[in-house]
Amino acid sequence: MALTSGSPPGVGPYYENHGYQSEHFYPPRPPVAPNGHNLYPVQYYPSPVPQYAPRVTTQVSTPAVHTRRRSSGTPCTSNSKAKSLCVALALGTVLVGAAVAVVLLWRFLPGDSKCSTSEMECGSSGTCISSSLWCDGISHCPNEEDENRCGELVRLYGPSFTLQVYSSQRKAWYPVCQDDWNESYGRAACKEMGYKDNFYRTEGIQDIGGTSFMKLNISAGNIDLYKKLYHSDSCSSRMVVSLQCIQCGVRSVSRQSRIVGGSNASPGDWPWQVSLHVQDTHVCGGSIITPDWIVTAAHCVEEPLNKPRYWSAFAGILNQYQMYYEKRHQVAKVISHPNYDSKTKNNDIALMKLQMPLTFNDVVKPVCLPNPGMMLDPAQACWISGWGATYEKGKTSEVLNAAKVFLIESSKCNSKYMYNNLITPAMVCAGFLNGTVDSCQGDSGGPLVTLKNDIWWLIGDTSWGSGCAKALRPGVYGNVTVFTDWIYQQMKANS
């Protein structure tokens, strides 16, 4: 973690983590010079309509080896009649192939769905069904996507953890009325979001100006939670459900002043921080979000480090040398965002699932994932932490450091004087315009957190920057607020 300004400003190479440099596992890549070209996809924000993304592969499979077959001739070279026949067959094959390609493109190309606005598309077949039939208890899609993905229509909203459910009929999110709600429904909702056996509390909170709700039909019988809910314009209690699946974002200490400007952390200061090791060497940081799951950066787990057997995690330990003697937690799965771009660092986020769950205590606790609807100030105060270098091109630190930084608006960060349109909506800038405090190599994947409503929220994961602590070159972080839905989907799919 850099605390002083380095070399003169100028857009230089991205800093990435270089704590582990074994040529066998992590061969150095040629430097990538950033430029102003629009290399990333046009659409970054998640659609307001839930997207039914397929399960993301947890490892890159070994590519098939294609060998070129040797031959001394074919029937098509024997005589003129055979040649004519072969030409005709070839033309016919090309025409048929073109027709099939057109049909496949029409049916499966994303973005231009052939379904009307009142219909939803079955992802596997392209079949269109009425929105009113989605999650109605009867399968209409060939692979039953309309029923077995109903859990992706549940979310938590805002800093008060308001439970919202997506109405397929009205194509909008609505809060759940507190009427007839109890803990068993709260547990069911947490499972729908991928929290497996995690549940903390559910309670009613005052509804502010709402006129439409999702309401429980308690006579619906023993069926899925989503199928028990129906749209209603009334809620007799005027209270809506607040749900926390896990107690997160709480520290055992409150010594914020100690870390302003950057300093060594004390036990319990940042209990969600983990050190991710490859062969007993710190490589990246990460953030605990559940006993089983850690958020880190996708660039940390690029091939060949995408295999979970290389990785182990250490939690609740501040000094790197102590990690040789403390319990390590082996990684079971590595899941990188499917749209991660290694050149632009767009969508730079990944998940790790541990083989055995963590035990929470005063120095090991989860941070809260940001809920949609959270409002942050343009210059929101945040904190970064990690074992990264304390100056540009320096060695990783033996002790955990932390520092206070401030969010920088993307419009300002994208100016020609700073990163010249390299910042996408899947990224967020934080730091100081004059440098002085910044993330650095070795901090990659670690947390950018903020305190709101007395709760600590994971706003970003350390991604890239031009040098360390340079003026007009702040740190760039993966915008976790964009990825919350994707995280829930992966937690549920890999529970």
Out of 131, 287, 336, 444, pick the active-site residue.
444
Catalytic-labelled residue, pool 179, 269, 348, 443 = 348
* Token pair 């206070």: residue: 404
Verify whether residue 444 is a known catalytic residue.
yes
* Distance (Å, whole) CA 368 – CA 246: 8
Active site residue 337: no
The catalytic position among 299, 337, 438, 466 is 299
DSSP per-residue codes, 192-235 = HTT-TT---EEEEEE--S---EEEE-TTS-S--HHHHEEEES--
Distance in angstroms (rounded) separating the CA atoms of residues 345 and 177: 41
Amino acid, res. 58:
T
- DSSP code for 303: T
Q: What's the burial of 200, exposed, middle or buried (CB within 10 Å: 0-12/13-18/19+)?
A: middle
Q: CA dihedral in degrees (132, 137, 138, 139; nearest 10)?
A: 90
Q: How distant, in Å, are the alpha carbons of 113, 186, 258, 259, 265 from that of 262?
A: 50, 40, 8, 5, 9
427-431/401-408 β-pairing: antiparallel
Q: How many C-alpha atoms does 356 have within 13 Å on its Cβ side?
A: 9
Smallest CA-to-CA distance from 405 within 459, 354, 444 is with: 459
Does the N-terminal peptide bond of residue 304 adopt cis geometry, omega within 30 degrees of 0? yes
Annotated catalytic residue 233: no
Under 8 Å between Cβ of 247 and 200:
yes
E-strand spans in 99-254? Answer: 119-121, 128-130, 154-157, 162-167, 172-175, 201-206, 213-216, 229-232, 239-244
List residues with catalytic annotation. Answer: 299, 348, 444
